[in-house]
Amino acid sequence: MSSPRSEPDRSPQAGGWLLRIGSVLGVPIFLTPSWLLVAGFITISYAGFLREQIPGASHAGSYVLSLVFAVALAASVLLHEVGHTVVSRVVGLPVRRIVVFLLGGVSEIEGEASRPRDEFAIAAAGPLVSLALAGGCRVVSVLPPEESAVAVLLLLLAWSNLVIAIFNVLPGLPLDGGRLMQALIWMMGSSRLTAVRVAAWSGRGLAVLLGLAVLFSNAILGGNSTADFATVGSTAMGFAVAAFLWFGASHTLRMAELSARAAQLRLGQLLRASLYLPSATPVSEAVRQTAATGAGGIVVIDGQGRTRALVDEARIGQLPADRRPWTPLSQVARELEPGLILAEDTSGEELIETLRRHPASEYLVVGQDGVARGVVAAVDLARALKLPRPRPGRHHLN
């Protein structure tokens, strides 16, 4: 259905529990429990239709065929996402995973295309695969007898893939059509952020129109007091898709605005004056020196003056005052890892991805020469990026 970029928070479509069902080109493929809901809905809804279309089909057999169709449809969705994945890999963007869920599938692409034509190619790949599947199923459906189970299922898959292709090219995020719109606006000279804003608001408009269409259809059918399972299920599915479009468009817009702010961010402007103290320094002495110097961060160094760890100010705040004279800095510090060391010129997607992969309260900033420039706090980064403050109730050094 869409090809979202990897983001600091968890994919809203992926949910919690995931079942790995394979991989393609080294990209893992997952199935969510929510898919079972749509599989059950399809199985129940289409059994009667298949029983009417296939002469001699038994009651039980029609349900089996309907389930086969549900699985084949999921495979079609998966191939749609594989199309996104293949083109993403061709243009140099890694894909973290493919997830098939209640409303379709997603290819979680890491990073952003550097050129609008790459964005366009990635977005177009999925619908083109669906169109190819629709055409292929339609051609092959004429080979078996017209009313055989195979012919009917192939024809049903052909129409389903055509619907998938058409729906996905509707001009609004988070659909592929929204990304096509975004790429075209970008090609015309607008900034990426402007293109995302237009495509996101278009996606919100589609969500509203879909919701109104569902309400309108229910009003027309309101006189039917014996609404069947398919009608109720279709209504619920319609509202679910509308909600998916609205929240997906809003989420994509927020992430684009975050990326734009991160691209303008300069870590040097957020540096806190820092003290460089040996690991055996008592916490009370470190707190005294920070008060005297006005420092906002403490870096732990070894005997040769090399940086080894960063002191977590929250842990100092949680340490009782009577224990501070007997507690060395090493016990309230976090050993330096690659993700806790930021180059002074880190910004944009690279900065966001580092913060996502390595959450911490403080980071060490180094210059191009590898020399430490100081400490930047997560709360300062959150304020600059206009994000919620991490770990509410943090304590400052005092």
Average pLDDT over residues 279-304: 92
**Best CA proximity match to 4, nearest among 187, 193, 253:** 253
Domain locations along the chain: 19-264, 267-384
Band (112; pLDDT cuts 50, 70, 90): confident
**Which SS3 state, helix, strand or coil, does residue 305 take?**
coil
Write out the H or E segment, with its range, that includes residue 148: none
Average pLDDT over residues 107-135: 95
Cβ(147)–Cβ(95) below 8 Å: no
Mean pLDDT of the chain: 88
CA–CA separation, 122 and 377 (whole Å): 37
CA–CA separation, 120 and 98 (whole Å): 19
Structure tokens at 164: 């998938």
Average pLDDT over residues 309-320: 88
Write out the H or E segment, with its range, that includes residue 361: none
For 75-86, what is each residue's pLDDT tens digit? Answer: 999 999 999 999
For 160-187, what is each residue's pLDDT tens digit? Answer: 999 999 999 999 999 999 999 999 999 9
Band (18; pLDDT cuts 50, 70, 90): confident
Cβ neighbours, 10 Å, residue 160: 20
For 41-50, what is each residue's pLDDT tens digit? Answer: 999 989 999 9
Residue 110: pLDDT above 80? yes
CA–CA separation, 22 and 107 (whole Å): 14
Query: How far does CA 336 lie from the centroid of its chain?
Result: 28
For 140-155, what is each residue's pLDDT tens digit? Answer: 999 999 889 999 999 9
pLDDT of residue 11: 41
Residue 302: pLDDT above 50? yes
What CATH number was assigned to the domain covering residues 267-384?
3.10.580.10
| Beta strand residue intervals within 186-344, DSSP E | 274-278, 297-301, 307-311, 333-335, 341-343
CA dihedral over 84, 86, 87, 91, signed as positive or negative: positive
Backbone angles phi, psi at 102, to 5 degrees: -55, -45
Average pLDDT over residues 199-227: 82
pLDDT of residue 12: 39
